[in-house]
Amino acid sequence: MTEVHAAVGGPVPAQAAPDHDRPDGHAGEARVRELLGRMTIEEKVAQLVGFWEKEDGEAVAPLQGEFGDSTKLEDFARHGLGHLTRAYGTRPVDAVTRAAWLWKFQRELVTGTRLGIPAIVHEECLTGLSAWQAATFPTPLGWGAAFDPELVTEMAEAIGASMRALGIHQGLAPVLDVIRDPRWGRVDECIAEDPYLVGTIGTSYVRGLQSQGVLATLKHFAGYSASRAGRNFAPVHAGPRELADVLFPPFEMAILDGNARSIMHSYTEIDGVPVAADPTMLTGVLRDRWGFDGTVVADYYGVAFLNLLHQVAADHAEAAAQALAAGVDIELPTGDAYLTLREQVRAGTVDEALVDRAVLRVLRQKLELGLLDATFTDEPPRAVDLDSPQHRSIARRLAEESLVLVANQGVLPLPAGRRVAVIGPNADRQAALFGCYSFLNHVLVQHPGVETGIEVPTVLEALRAEFGADLVTAANGCDVDSDDRSGFDEAVAAASAADVAVLAVGDHAGLFGRGTVGEGCDREDLELPGVQRELVEAVLATGTPVVLVLLTGRPYAIGWALSRCAAVVQAFFPGEEGAGAIAGVLSGRVNPSGRLPVSLPGSAGAQPYSYLHPTLGEGNEVTNLAATAAAPFGHGLSYTTFAHTGLTVPATVPTDGALRVAVQVTNSGTVAGDDVVQLYGRDVVASVTRPVAQLLGYQRVHLEPGQTVTVELTVPTTRLAFTDRTLTRVVEPGDVDLWVGTSAQRDTEARTTLVGATVPVTNDSPRWTTAEIR
């Protein structure tokens, strides 16, 4: 058996272990079934719940204050424990000290409970391990903007290694919700508005994390991001075709191609049915259709919400029965509802076979993790570097690749010797670089006085280092989200005395109304929060060229700025190395290469909007309110230019085959740079309406000045599949327009024809476009 050796719990099965070594093999299955046969109902239910050791006043989950439990961990776990919730990420604790406590607790489970089964420890890890002093990487929107799956894998490997060293077995990431409305607060946790980009980047994260023996948890299955009017927890009214063709594919890819081992259900209800109580989703799609054999975990308090919010259950007991029957195996973060299963089984109102089904899945996972043989008699880590030079290097490279130069009137890069006024509420604020699920904004904000724990230069500090402190002046101007204009005069004076004004504006990520973006921080409009636009207007009025730097977790309606500002740089919460990356782009040390993973909206009134719209979604002359984006999906400028020529496609392709597309890419400018080659397609005539553009494949390529390469993309025809009128996913014959460009807008075009019979899509159908550069 191929093994990687972990810091705790003995050997961890490698991701690609042979079938006979998987826990569902004969020996492993016999073992877990024998163990199940010896368990009491109390011991069974104990494996299906988590425990969260939290203090009053700590609020990092929705309606957390509604759930109070004074039970001590030792009493709660006397029959065992399925999951230990957020051992490191609930408050700022020293990792080595906490690891010593964790090892001791796990030893007590091994020696002090009848069956001796350790707990799975899970933690948030969306922008890095959510722990004090741990590296914080760009937010997932930044991953999408980088269009670099290999670098995302490298990041996830580093995150997973840190987690495993600390005895953490499961990470609550990645988020595979496809962005449908930028007003939704959790856009900052998402990767893109295109399901293929979400699927490839998200699956790459899964592969990296799980290569280190840490289970990835896909969030949030499914439909959460399609909430009505962009409101968190709002109902979803997506039809089966939108679910199948837009919202499901990233999860399908991560399961079938990434072997993701855990799924978290969505909080939402779809057409009146809460996902947490929907067996057609959690069993029918996940297990029966895709063959998923991992565990389904509840989003925090999601089972109890069947009673409290959805009101499809009269009490927590009925909620538990519905969720268990639907296919939720583990209740997180605690056992508010599932602990009622003990009495329900005894009373005969819940079939014990459903409990056994879930327990077997948990035991198989613990066997897979090596936990059934773990003794925790080894020493916990005595020293751990959670923000090593390797972490910083990855964070820097990903931050640099994620920055999108949206507009440039020739002012960037800034020549040396210019006097620079750095203005705006995000210019000198560490939190401006991080998303909602970063440790700083998620946890540390509730512990004032505790130091950040990692080195985080602000934009102002980075620009002083880049251009010289004597050439850089600063003014705050205003807050992120208030109507205080008292700093405008100072900002205008600073800009007037400078050669260029850099305005760092945008968001503050937070939770449940404590920020302008983040979980529970939705927006009614897409204007810059507070009086930030007024600040920009005041500085523009000075006549000093303005470089607008957007540090945000969502795209804002900034079409007005694209022509009036000298340059616009979009940074989607670029992490601990983000300020240095921004400074590098402004100076020209870094040639920007990010591409928009989501359209820049024209207005809030045009939402929800996606570049994947059919012809009627564009508006044009049929309505007085066009839905045109201010900048399209895939857009991004460079300090060099790229030419795409010689696009070749086959005249015909079998409907069960692959399109082999080649294009020549030339760096026609004077500096080295990265191009993101984007291949789009459109089904010209189909049995149901299809998008006017659809990303079929992409490839990042580095080119020296004057260099030409040929990029060959092999596109399985299933990239053009859709759900037909019988609700079957198929590839239909017919004409397909193809183009390669710098965004979803058409550039170098060609046409091919799919020939043959209509072909149904199966689990064995290829889903990935491959690329070769020569």
User: How many CB atoms within 10 Å of residue 402?
Assistant: 32
Q: What is the pLDDT of residues 572-592, one digit of tens each?
A: 999 999 999 999 999 999 999
| Residues 574, 581 contacting (CB under 8 angstroms) | yes
451 Cβ partners below 8 Å, 6+ apart? none
As a whole number of Å, the CA-based R_g of the chain is: 26
What type of residue is 434?
Answer: F
- If we measure between CA atoms, which residue out of 300, 340, 332, 333 comes closest to residue 316? 340
Distance CA 352, CA 342 (A): 9
Rounded to the nearest 10 degrees, what angle do helices 488-496 and 532-540 cross at?
Answer: 30
| Residues 194, 178 contacting (CB under 8 angstroms) | yes
pLDDT greater at residue 30 or residue 65: 30
Q: What is the pLDDT of residues 658-695, one digit of tens each?
A: 999 999 999 999 999 999 999 999 999 999 999 999 99
Confidence of residue 335 (pLDDT cuts 50, 70, 90): very high
Beta-sheet pairing, 500-506 with 546-552: parallel
pLDDT > 90? residue 745: no
The b-or-e profile of 508-540 (16+ CB within 10 A means b, else e) is: bbbbbebbbbbbbbbbeebebbbbbbebbebbb
pTM: 0.95
Which two structure tokens, joined as six digits, stand for 206?
Answer: 């899964």
Q: Name the residue with tokens 């268990």.
A: 324
Three-state DSSP at 78 gives strand
Confidence of residue 628 (pLDDT cuts 50, 70, 90): confident
Choose the weakest-confidence range: 22-31, 308-317, 511-520. 22-31
Rounded to the nearest 10 degrees, what angle do helices 316-326 and 352-368 cross at?
Answer: 60
Q: What is the pLDDT of residues 230-288, one digit of tens each?
A: 899 899 999 999 999 999 999 999 999 999 999 999 999 999 999 999 999 999 999 99
φ/ψ region of 705 (left if φ > 0, alpha if ψ in -120 to 50, else beta) reads beta
- What kind and span of H or E run contains 561? helix 559-564
Locate all alpha helices (DSSP H) within 140-194, ordered by sequence: 140-146, 149-165
Three-state DSSP at 2 gives coil
φ/ψ region of 165 (left if φ > 0, alpha if ψ in -120 to 50, else beta) reads alpha
User: How many CB atoms within 10 Å of residue 430?
Assistant: 20
- If we measure between CA atoms, which residue out of 637, 542, 543, 544 comes closest to residue 585? 637
Three-state DSSP at 568 gives strand
| Residues 508, 554 contacting (CB under 8 angstroms) | no
Tell me what the pLDDT averaged over the chain comes to.
94
- If we measure between CA atoms, which residue out of 454, 573, 457 comes closest to residue 134? 454
Q: Name the residue with tokens 């079934």.
A: 33
pLDDT greater at residue 690 or residue 1: 690
Distance CA 87, CA 94 (A): 11
Confidence of residue 59 (pLDDT cuts 50, 70, 90): low
Confidence of residue 64 (pLDDT cuts 50, 70, 90): low
- If we measure between CA atoms, which residue out of 281, 474, 350, 406 comes closest to residue 44? 350
